[in-house]
Amino acid sequence: MYIRPTDVRPEVTSRRRLLDSPRVLGAVAVLLLAILVGLFWIANRSSDIPPQLLSDVLLYSLLAVDLALLAALSFVLVRNLLKLWIEQRTAAPFARFRGKLVVALLAMAIVPAVLVLISGSEIIRKSAERWFSEPVDEVLSAGQEIARQYYRDAQQNTMLRARRLARVLSADALAAGDVAALTPVVEEEPRTMQNGLVDVYRTIAVPGEPSDLAYLFGVGSANLPQDHVPPSADRLAAKAVASGHEEAQQDELDGGGVLLRTAAPIRRTDGGVAGAVVVSQFLGNEMQVRALRATQAYENYQGLRVLKGPIQGVYQSIFLAVSLLILISATWLGLYLAKRITRPVQMLAEGARAIGAGQLDLRLEAETGDELGTLVESFNMMAAELGTSRERLEESRRALEVKNLEVDTRRRYIETILERVATGVISLDAAGQVSTINGAAERLLGLDAASFGRAAEVVFQREDLQPLASLIATTTRQQASGVVQEVTLARDDREVHLAVAATVLVGEDGRHEGAVLVFDDVTPLIRAQRVAAWRDVARRLAHEIKNPLTPIQLSAERLRKHFGGAPQPTRALVGECTDAIITEVEALKGLVDEFAQFARLRGPRLLPTDINEIITSALQLYGAVLQQGDVQVDRNLAPGLPHVRVDAEQMRQVIINLVDNAVEVLGGPTAGRRPGGAPPIIVVATSHDARNGVVRLVVTDNGPGVSAADRDKLFMPYYSTKGRGSGLGLAIVRRIIVQHGGGIEVGAAQPSGTTFTIELPCQPS
Amino acid sequence: MTRRHAPVLLAVLVAVTIPARASVGDIRVTPIIADGRVAASFIATPSFGDDAQAVVQSGLLLTMTFSVDLKRPSGFWWDHTVGSATVAASVKFDTLTGVYQVSKSQDGQVTWSERTDDLPHAREWMTRFDRVPLATGDRLEPNADYYVQVRMRASPRRTFSLWPFFGADDSVGRADFTFLR
């Protein structure tokens, strides 16, 4: 693979296969060429190679070379075919195209080479058979036979002469060493031989030891070559003496030519050996050379014929080696060409695949300067531009992520605000489905999180929410930009006053995109407004009514005093009337005082206080009062309550008002058991709600209870279910609690009765 | 061992060891233990066949190289070589005079040379070797099995095998014996 991604900066891949290096290719080519030249040299010099070297070394060396080349060819073929097979199995790009190309190139290389190999081997075999044809064999054999016969005749001639001289030479003269007597017998022989030499030896007997052989004399032809001394014939003569019969040998002369020699023993009459005669025939250099040449030609021919198999094997091995070299070169070249053609395309395909997988820093190496190289360069430029584009895109994505994060943070911030604000917010999308609803809206309207995503008609189809549904319908229908309306909902048998602002959302293109409802609970505000109004009324009543009461009372007392001396009936009538006037005036004064107290209720003086102590102190007042009846006041005070910042006097009044109210509800201090037989019980309990940071004070009675419709009115001034009293007790309680930053709620007790729950904020620790 | 006891011991050893086992193969091998030395004589007449005769008659120098090894057989490993020698016989036929020049050498040194015009004589000289020394007797363990192996390789060859390292020997002979003392 010629693809390499880079981590830091794009680089052109530089990894090359070993066989792609020009140096390696050159070295391989030189090596193959050297082997080829060596093979041709061996083929040319094969005739000069000794037979032993040829049959024992050269032949097996060539066989080893053939096997090595065959192994190399097999390796190249098997390796590349296996690679092709694997590439096709793995569906590599252009594997099929490359396979077809390789097969075609291999067929173009292998088929002709195999045909040439077969035909060449057959030609070598036929040629080798023709070398040893019958006519050549006959000619060489005839020449050899002529030379051999010439030698044989010359040797026979010397043998005959030696045998004849041995017979005619006198053993006695020989024993006596009479050279003069012997010379005439032998001196004619060299002349008749033309190039002849006769040497005579005699034995010398030594008593007790083997006889010795001594050279006596020699006679030679005049035309014998004088520049070279013929070798001694002593050994040949001794051999003939020892064996007792003729011995022959050839002695080559240094100056050329050869002496054909035969030694014959000279016997005495008693059969003993008296000496030996050696006859030598000189064959001249020219004759010898011709004979040797004929013999050499014959031996060469016979040597070739005998070693025909190994020689033929050598030539066939050389031819096989050359063919294998060509085959290897052609095969490798074919594979190389196929690779050179398909590799750039394959690189581009794999590069495109890698870039498609996101590897944009990939670069390809342009191995050639042709059109494929230009294509690779264009591919690299495209990859670079894609990389740049991706970097820009990545930057944009990162900026967008930052923006999204900011938007998300802002959205969560707004959602948090929406969740925490007391204002209810509901948004509807263009399809009229609820797309936003915050916690305040859920709490104020009694909805849950399931409302999200539902149609507004469904969400607001509840009867108590019909005013809101109507408002939404009206706003949507009129496409009003903003409608503000106060809506009163009946929730849990009490009225909830909402200030609702409905706004239609219109996009920049003027398209309707939904609506938003924003509403606030203004019930406490309205209630406060009512209380303020009542306080103003109370103040006016206290001022306008209390002022005339004293003159009225004084006038009534004056009338009674004036008519004190009147007759009894008159006096009685006056007394009765003035008493009634004075009594009612006193009642009116009390009433006016309560109004004045309600109107002039001072602000609390807050101090850290244990609420349990206040409760205990207040409830001690009822110890003696409630002894006459069955009313019980139980305390369930939680120990260890945190202190609360309250005005102890006002809180004491709160507790007394609530307990008084409960006692009244139960029938007064002397009330007996409840209709069911249960004793009238008032329970005052405290608890600590650490999670909300409040101390909770609960006053519960088991009286008849208050209807749900009247519960919200209990805290209104001058509202009383008892039909007596001023109706300011619970109003004062609520006002004190509100001034302390707390809250009071009224509810039903189980199985009967009423529960007042006061929550006061704890003192911060 | 004294000089007086030597002939007796030699006679005992020869009598015990020589008839040990017959030789096998084309080369007839006879182990000899004498004078405290282990030697081998062998005759390889069948090795001088038609191919060798054709080579000789063509005038080429024929060399028959004999590798003689004294080995101790091993059941599960290569046999241990106790001693070895390499002898060779060469013959050159003078096609002009019809004379065979035969020479013998041992470990590269020519030890014998002779001429004859008789081919059977030349063949016998080429294929017969007497008392080729292999090792001294003290290198052999008593009552142990040994064998002498003779491998002959002729050069030049008229035929060739596919691979020179397998079946390279033209003739082989072997004789097993037990070294008793």
pLDDT in tens, A300-314: 888 878 888 888 888
Determine the distance in angstroms separating the CA of A52 from the nearest CA of chain B, rounded to an integer: 5
What's the pLDDT score for residue A227?
67
Does A155 reach chain B within 8 Å, measured CB to CB?
Answer: yes
Does A314 reach chain B within 8 Å, measured CB to CB?
Answer: no
Q: How far is CA A292 from CA A146, A285, A295, A304, B138, in A?
A: 11, 10, 5, 18, 54
Best probe of the A interface among B62, B152, B160, B165, by most A CBs < 10 A, is: B160
Q: Note whether A179 and A199 are within 8 A (CB).
A: no
Q: Note whether A364 and A376 are within 8 A (CB).
A: yes
Tokens of A232: 């001694």
Chain A positions touching B155 (Cβ under 8 A) are 52, 55-56
Asked if pLDDT for residue B10 goes beyond 50, the answer is: no
A236-292 pLDDT per residue, tens: 999 888 888 888 888 877 777 788 899 999 988 888 888 999 999 888 767 777 877
What's the pLDDT score for residue A4?
43
Is the pLDDT higher at A47 or at A443?
A443
Residue A751: cis peptide before it, omega within 30 degrees of 0:
yes
Give backbone dihedrals phi and psi of A493, rounded to 5 degrees, phi first: 60, 25
What's the pLDDT score for residue B17?
42
pTM of the model: 0.50
- Give the Cα separation of B177 and B142 in Å (integer): 12
**What are residue B72's DSSP bridge partners?**
B80
Determine the distance in angstroms separating the CA of A65 from the nearest CA of chain B, rounded to an integer: 12
Best probe of the A interface among B157, B161, B162, by most A CBs < 10 A, is: B157
Q: What value does the mean pLDDT take over residues A709-730?
A: 72
- Give the Cα separation of A643 and A628 in Å (integer): 35
A390-441 pLDDT per residue, tens: 889 889 999 999 999 999 999 889 888 888 888 888 888 888 888 888 888 8
Give the SS3 label for residue B130: strand
- Give the Cα separation of A578 and A580 in Å (integer): 5
Of B57, B95, B158, the CB nearest to A148: B95
Q: Note whether A535 and A554 are within 8 A (CB).
A: no
Tokens of A450: 């399931």
- Give the Cα separation of A21 and A66 in Å (integer): 27
Residue type, A133: S
**Residue B176's Cα: distance from chain center in Å?**
14
Residue type, A192: T
First-residue to last-residue Cα distance in chain A = 74
The verdict on a CB contact (< 8 Å) between B97 and A148 is yes
Give the highest mean pLDDT range of A237-241, A463-467, B32-36. Answer: A237-241
Give backbone dihedrals phi and psi of B61, rounded to 5 degrees, phi first: -75, 120
Give the SS3 label for residue A526: helix
- Give the Cα separation of A351 and A341 in Å (integer): 16
Q: Which of A265, A175, A261, A185 is nearest to A216 (CA)?
A: A175
What's the pLDDT score for residue B162?
57
Q: pLDDT confidence of A685, banded at 50, 70, 90? A: very high
**Look-up of token digits 């080893």:** A64
Q: What value does the mean pLDDT take over residues A360-373?
A: 76
Q: How many Cβ atoms are within 10 Å of A534's Cβ, its own excluded?
A: 19
Count of helix runs (H) and strand runs (E) in chain B? 3, 10
- Give the Cα separation of A305 and B166 in Å (integer): 26
Chain A positions touching B158 (Cβ under 8 A) are 55, 306-310
Q: Which of B40, B19, B16 is nearest to B174 (CA)?
A: B40
Chain B positions touching A128 (Cβ under 8 A) are none
Residue type, A71: A
Does A737 reach chain B within 8 Å, measured CB to CB?
Answer: no
A562-600 pLDDT per residue, tens: 888 888 888 888 888 988 888 888 888 877 777 777 777
Q: Note whether B44 and B152 are within 8 A (CB).
A: yes
- The helix or strand, by DSSP H or E, that contains position A538, with its residue range, turns out to be helix A523-562
- Give the Cα separation of B18 and B161 in Å (integer): 36
Long-range CB contacts (within 8 A, 24+) of A219-224 = A219/A183, A219/A186, A219/A187, A219/A189, A219/A190, A220/A190, A220/A196, A221/A190, A221/A191, A221/A193, A221/A194, A221/A195, A221/A196, A221/A197, A221/A282, A223/A194, A223/A195, A224/A195, A224/A196, A224/A197, A224/A282
Chain A positions touching B160 (Cβ under 8 A) are 55, 59-60, 63, 309-310, 313
What's the pLDDT score for residue A228?
65
Q: How many Cβ atoms are within 10 Å of B157's Cβ, its own excluded?
A: 23
Give backbone dihedrals phi and psi of A524, rounded to 5 degrees, phi first: -60, -35
Q: Which of A98, A120, A595, A92 is nearest to A317 (CA)?
A: A120
What's the pLDDT score for residue B161?
61
A172-211 pLDDT per residue, tens: 888 888 888 888 888 888 878 777 889 999 888 777 777 7
Please list the alpha-helical segments (H only) found in A21-133. Answer: 22-44, 51-53, 59-89, 95-131
Closest-CA residue of A relative to B93 is: A299
What's the pLDDT score for residue B125?
93
**Least reliable range by pLDDT among A273-282, A322-331, B170-179:** A322-331
Percent of chain A with pLDDT over 70: 93
Residue type, A104: A
Q: Note whether A267 and A171 are within 8 A (CB).
A: yes
- Give the Cα separation of A207 and A55 in Å (integer): 58
Q: pLDDT confidence of A2, banded at 50, 70, 90? A: very low
- Give the Cα separation of B20 and B30 in Å (integer): 10
Q: Note whether A147 and A293 are within 8 A (CB).
A: no
Is the pLDDT higher at A607 or at B158?
A607
- The helix or strand, by DSSP H or E, that contains position A387, with its residue range, turns out to be helix A371-420
Contacts of residue B112, Cβ cutoff 8 Å, sequence gap at least 6: B103, B104
Give the SS3 label for residue A630: coil
A144-179 pLDDT per residue, tens: 888 888 888 888 889 999 999 888 888 888 888 888
Q: How many Cβ atoms are within 10 Å of A535's Cβ, its own excluded?
A: 18
Q: How many Cβ atoms are within 10 Å of A100's Cβ, its own excluded?
A: 12
| CB-facing half-sphere around the CA of A635: CA atoms within 13 A | 16
Q: pLDDT confidence of A80, banded at 50, 70, 90? A: confident
Tokens of A283: 């064959």
Give the SS3 label for residue A211: strand
Mean pLDDT of chain B: 80
Q: What value does the mean pLDDT take over residues A82-95?
A: 80
Of A56, A63, A298, the CB nearest to B95: A298
Q: Which of A146, A211, A231, A157 is nearest to A189 (CA)?
A: A157
Q: pLDDT confidence of B18, banded at 50, 70, 90? A: very low
Give the highest mean pLDDT range of A111-125, A311-325, A693-707. Answer: A693-707
Q: Which of A415, A414, A422, A471 is nearest to A443 (CA)?
A: A422
Q: What value does the mean pLDDT take over residues A489-497?
A: 75
- Give the Cα separation of B57 and A155 in Å (integer): 21
Mean pLDDT of chain A: 82
Give backbone dihedrals phi and psi of A290, rounded to 5 degrees, phi first: -65, -40
Chain B positions touching A309 (Cβ under 8 A) are 158-160
Q: What value does the mean pLDDT take over residues A21-50?
A: 79
Asked if pLDDT for residue A611 goes beyond 50, the answer is: yes
Tokens of A317: 């091995």
Closest-CA residue of B relative to A52 is: B156
What's the pLDDT score for residue A765?
58
- Give the Cα separation of A747 and A714 in Å (integer): 11
What's the pLDDT score for residue B105?
93
Asked if pLDDT for residue A447 goes beyond 80, the answer is: yes
Asked if pLDDT for residue A88 goes beyond 50, the answer is: yes
Of A291, A306, A307, the CB nearest to B96: A291
Q: Which of B129, B50, B49, B52 is nearest to B91 (CA)?
A: B52
What's the pLDDT score for residue A174?
85
Q: pLDDT confidence of B22, banded at 50, 70, 90? A: very low
Question: A308-356 and A285-306 are packed helices; what angle lies between their axes, rounded to 10 degrees?
Answer: 50
Of B59, B157, B159, the CB nearest to A299: B59
Determine the distance in angstroms separating the CA of A229 from the nearest CA of chain B, rounded to an integer: 23
Q: Note whether A321 and A35 are within 8 A (CB).
A: yes
